[in-house]
Amino acid sequence: MRKLNSHELIIATHNRRKLQEFEAILAPHSITTRCAADLNLQLPLETEPTFVGNARIKAHFVAKQTQLPAIADDSGMMVEDLDNQPGVYTADWAETPHGRDYVKAMTKIWELLEQKKAPHPRKAKFCSTICIAWPDGHDEIFNGYVEGNIVWPMRGTIGFGFDPIFIPDGHQQTFGEMPEEVKNLISHRALSLQKFAENCLDD
């Protein structure tokens, strides 16, 4: 497992909410972060059918462009009892001609579950795959998963994406209701980043 020998890390995202999560979770490790948007890097299309494939596309592109270690996340929701999974296409479910509409996407998930008369509790999990890539082409991969239930109606406005309909196991609040400092300890992205920190950082 390769260690990070730099205190500067480029985050391969244009998503400011995701960037805030990265920064909060990595803050205790004295890592200076910048994101692709800060460097005017247009990220390549995510053309792979897997989380790891898409994370690799973004991380390697940014590492090559900046000649610095880069980290990327590809994440999404898997919903039990749905034949057509959001999965690696989770963000695509929210696409509209006017930008992403996650209320529309969450409504679609619930309506599909209702059409199937899916039993309660309606199980789902959030998945996160982290790829850290170096300019020489080496990379390391870390996965994080959190199991939970889909609830309706939507609850909370703190998180982003599908957070308002997902309650992680062992909790009473959705990710959309949960204080950020709590979510950043238990989320799928927190778990994958914790594995990265344990294996690639010296502290």
Q: Of 97, 120, 128, give the one whose Cα is nearest residue 15.
A: 128
Which is it for the CA torsion 61, 38, 26, 159, positive or negative?
A: negative
Query: How far is residue 15's CA from residue 58's CA, in Å, rounded to a whole number?
Result: 13
Catalytic residue among 38, 73, 74, 139: 74
The tokens describing 42, both together, are 């247009």
What is the enclosing helix (H) or strand (E) of 128?
Answer: strand 122-133
Give yes or no: 101 in active site: no
Task: Specify whether the CB–CB gap between 78 and 125 falls below 8 A.
Answer: yes
Rg of the chain in Å (alpha carbons): 17
List active site positions.
74
